[in-house]
Amino acid sequence: MAMNLSRLTAVLCLTFMMLIVPPTAATSKSYDDLSDVYILCNTQNYTAGDAFDNQLKASLTSLQQLAQRRSSYRLLQIRGPGITLMTSFQCRGDLSPSKCSECVTAAVQTASSSCPSSIGSRVQKNGCFLRYEQYSYNVEDSSVVVELCNTQKNTDPYFKNQVQGIVSRVISSAPRHKNLFASASVSLGSQKGSSAGFKLYALAQCQGYLSPGQCADCLTAHSSSWQDCDAAVGSQIHSVSCYYRFETYPFFY
């Protein structure tokens, strides 16, 4: 059950950004809602107490309140004299409103502690995503942010086939469902060399500002990228506006 998401195979989007990937993910207790998958900080800073700082604080407070009122996705845009600020959060589609709210509050704290005074940041936790920028980002963007690979391998062609199948399933299903989210599990039965009850679990989700068509484009753009992980028993492919993940252990409700 140990998660070893330590191998970082691709890091793009690094212009003006610092990427922080936690050295090892936490245990899979309560499906890791609050553990960090990646954190991106713009290296440019605003000045404490300036108009942007005040607007950002107000917007992040509003996002947390919206999550407390059972929203699972929100995007706020402020266009004032001299200020453009877009902020948003999205929870993993299976989280309860209270877990979602807890995750958004934790993500706001992570953004301010890991990216203090940054003019932009992205925090991807296992249970939710938070972002703010000085520009509008609510467009489809399938550039890869990070690919995480479990270090354990399974080279059995049957396993590879099953991964292909479940990844295709969640990718085609997510755009058609609430929160642009889909999850699935499949029993691998008595696969050679595996214990009974061996299963595969997968999920896919797009940012709430995408249309179903854009969501499908975003997810299919990297539908084979899990193969970059070279027979890994689990991987996560995160692009700017969508992601998917599969594992051999449950990681969602």
Ligand X SMILES: *[C@@H]1O[C@H](CO)[C@@H](O)[C@H](O)[C@H]1NC(C)=O
Candidate list 44, 65, 136, 185; residue touching ligand X; CB under 6 A? 44
Minimum Å distance from CB 118 to ligand X?
Answer: 7
If the CB atoms of residues 117 and 191 are measured against ligand X, the closer one turns out to be: 117
Kindly determine how many residues on this chain lie close enough to bind ligand X according to the rule CB under 6 A: 5
- Work out whether 80 is an interface residue with ligand X (CB under 6 A): no
For residues 135 and 195, which CB has a smaller minimum distance to ligand X in the complex? 135
SS (H, E, C) the chain: CCCCCCEEEEECCCCCEEEECCCCCCCCHHHHCCCEEEEEEECCECCCCCHHHHHHHHHHHHHHHHHHCCCCEEEEEEEECCEEEEEEEEECCCCCHHHHHHHHHHHHHHHHHHCCCECCEEEEECCEEEEEECCCCCCCCCCEEEEEECCCECCCHHHHHHHHHHHHHHHHHHHHCHHHEEEEEEECCCCCCCCCCCEEEEEEEECCCCCHHHHHHHHHHCCCHHHHHCCECCEEEEECCEEEEEECCCCCC
179 lies in the site for ligand X, by CB under 6 A: no
Under the criterion CB under 6 A, does residue 43 sit at the interface with ligand X?
yes
Identify which range of 15-23, 40-48, 141-149, 235-243 contacts ligand X by CB under 6 A.
40-48
Q: According to the binding rule CB under 6 A, does residue 45 interact with ligand X?
A: yes
Q: Are 96 and 103 in contact (CB under 8 A)?
A: no
CA atoms lying within 13 Å on the CB side of residue 140: 14
The minimum distance between CB 39 and ligand X, in angstroms, equals: 14
* Closer by beta carbon to ligand X, 16 or else 158: 16
To ligand X, the closest distance from the beta carbon of 21 in angstroms equals: 19
Shorter beta-carbon distance to ligand X: residue 45 or 185: 45
Site for ligand X contains 187 (CB under 6 A): no
Site mask for ligand X (CB under 6 A), range 108-127, x = bound: --------xx----------
Q: How far apart are CA 133 and CA 115, in angstroms?
A: 12
Q: Which of residues 18 and 231 has its CB atom nearest to ligand X in the complex?
A: 18
Stretch that binds ligand X, among 14-22, 23-31, 43-51, 80-88 (CB under 6 A): 43-51
Cβ proximity to ligand X: between 43 and 136 the closer is 43
- Give the three-state DSSP class for 25: coil
Q: Which is nearer to ligand X, 43 or 224 (CB)?
A: 43
Residue matched to tokens 């992601």: 243
State which amino acid sits at residue 132: Y
54 near ligand X, rule: CB under 6 A? no
Binding stretches for ligand X (CB under 6 A): 43-45, 116-117
